Amino acid sequence: MSTRETSGSDDPIIESRDQLVAPMQAGEKPKADWRIGTEHEKLVYCTKSFKAPSYVENCGIRDLLMALTEFGWEPVEENGHVIAMRSDDMGTVSLEPAGQLELSGAPLENLHQTCNETGRHLDQVKAIGERCGVGFLGLGMWPDKTRAELPVMPKGRYEIMMRHMPRVGNLGLDMMLRTCTIQVNLDYSSEADMAKKFRVGLALQPLATALFANSPFTEGKPNGYLSYRSHIWSDTDQHRTGMLPFVFEDGFGYERWTDYMLDVPMYFVFRDGKYIDAAGQSFRDFLKGELPALPGEKPREADWWDHLSTAFPEVRLKSFLEMRGADGGPWSRICALPAFWVGLLYDQTALDAAWDLVKDWTMEEREALRNAVPKLALDAPIPGGGTLRDIAKDVLNIARGGLAARGRLGQSGDNETGFLETLDEIVASGKVPAQRLLDLYHGEWNGDITRAYEHSF
C-alpha cells in the first residue's frame, strides 16, 4: 500500500473539479514513454519456527528493513518507526499490515529489466534473511496462520483500516493480514486508450486470477478455493471493490472515474505526520469543508492522491492503470504477470484482438466469471460455452504477439515472449499452481502443511 511521508501547508487546496481530474490526465504519455511498474508481496517467516516475526524483535521486520541500507536503500519513517525503504533507482520496499514485504518496483522500459529488478531484490532480502534465520514465501495467503498469530505493523493508516474493516465486510482483516499479491502498473496515451485498456483489464482479470491462483489453504487445511485471496475481496468492502460495471458504459473516462472515487468512503486524512481517522466519511463533504474529522477544513491535492489509493477494484486508475487480480508467487510468475498484461495492452493489434474476445460479454456474464474463478480457476465457465482454459491459449497467443511486436531484446538477444512460458505450461497442463499444491498436500506431504515452506524463494 502507499507510503506517505509529508503533508505540507503549501500543497494547493482543491478549488475546482479540474484538480480532481488532473491526476488521471497527467498520466497520459506518448507510447515511447510507457513504462512497466511491478509490485510483489512476500510472506516473511522465521525458518526454525515458521512463525511470522514481529516488528521489534531481533531480526524482526524493522531489522530486515534497516539491513537493506547495505544495498543503498534509505529508510522512510512515520512517528519514529521505519515503515519503508526507498531508492531513486530501485523503487520502494514497503511494510504491509502483518509484515508482508512488498517491492514496488521502479518504472522500467522492458520486461528484461523487470525480471532483473525482481531477481536483484530477492537476492538482497534472501542474503539478509539467511543471516537472520528468516525466509520468504511466495503464496497468495498464509497457509497456516490465524489472524491472532500475526503481528500488526506500526503504520497509522493500517490502524484506521483495521478498525473499519469489520464494519463493512467479514474478510477485510484477512485481506490485510493474511494475503499477498503481484500487481502490474501500466501507462496509457489518452483517455480513450485508458478506457479500452481498463475494459480489457477488467474483462480478462479473471483469467489472470486463474493462472496465478495460489492460495488453497487456510489455517493448515484446504479451504475449498484455488484463489482464496481473490474470494476474500468479495467480502471486504463492496463500496471499494469489484468489477465496476460503469467502466463498460458509453462515455466512461476520467470524469466518471472521479465521480466513482468521490463516492468511495474515506479512510483517513494525513496531517502533521499523522493519520486522522475519517473512516466512512465523504470526500464530497470534505470538498465543502464539512468533513466531521476536520470541520471547516478543505482538502488539499495530496489528500485526493491519498484517497485515490483507497479503492480496491480488480483494476484501479490513478495516474496509471493497476492490474490487481493475481496471487503472490515465485520469481517466474512475478516476471510472467507483467509479460501477460504488457503483451495484451502495449501493442494496438494485441489490444484490439483482446477486446474482440470479450467485448460481447454482458456485465452479468463478467460478474459470474469473476465469482466462479476463485473456486474453479481455469475450469470456470465462460460466456458462450466452454471454460477459461479454452480461451487461455488464445489470450496467451495474443499476448505473445504483442510482446514480439515490441521487439525489446535482452542481453542475449531474446525478446520478451519467454516470460510467458510458465503460463504456457499451466495452460497446457490444465493445473494452476494451487492445484499442484493440493496434489502435494494430499500426496507426498501427507497433510503436513509445514511442507509448504519448502516453496520459499
Give the pLDDT score at 164. Answer: 97
Sequence spans of domains, the chain: 17-455
Q: Name residue 323's beta-bridge partners.
A: 184, 315
The pLDDT value recorded for residue 9 is: 63
Per-residue pLDDT tens digits for 251-281: 999 999 999 999 999 999 999 989 999 999 9
Tell me the pLDDT tens digit for each residue of 290-317. Answer: 999 999 999 999 999 999 999 999 999 9
- Between CA 272 and CA 285 the distance in angstroms is 21
Instruction: Give me the long-range contacts of 256-264 (CB less than 8 A, separation at least 24).
Output: 257/24, 257/317, 258/17, 258/20, 258/21, 258/24, 260/311, 261/20, 261/307, 261/308, 261/311, 262/20, 263/239, 264/239, 264/240, 264/307, 264/310, 264/311
Q: What is the mean pLDDT of residues 58-78?
A: 97
Q: Give the model's pLDDT for residue 10.
A: 80
Give the CATH architecture of domain 17-455.
2-Layer Sandwich (3.30)
Query: Do 213 and 182 meet the contact criterion of CB atoms below 8 Å apart?
Result: no
Tell me which residue has cell 526454525: 48
Give the confidence band of 455 by pLDDT, cuts at 50, 70, 90.
confident
pLDDT(104) > 70: yes
Report the predicted TM-score, pTM, of the whole model to 2 decimal places.
0.97
Q: What is the pLDDT of residues 167-209, one digit of tens each?
A: 999 999 999 999 999 999 999 999 999 999 999 999 999 999 9
Instruction: State residue 349's pLDDT score.
Output: 98
Amino acid at 406: R
- Between CA 328 and CA 445 the distance in angstroms is 21
State the pLDDT at residue 5: 56
Q: Using an 8 Å Cβ cutoff, are 313 and 366 in contact?
A: no
CA distances from 433 to 138, 214, 329 (A): 11, 5, 9
pLDDT (tens digit, 9 = 90+) per residue, 219-257? 999 999 999 999 999 999 999 999 999 999 999 999 999
Note the pLDDT tens digit of each residue in 2-61: 555 555 568 999 999 999 999 999 999 999 999 999 999 999 999 999 999 999 999 999
| Mean pLDDT of all residues in 121-130 | 97
Name the residue type at position 249: E
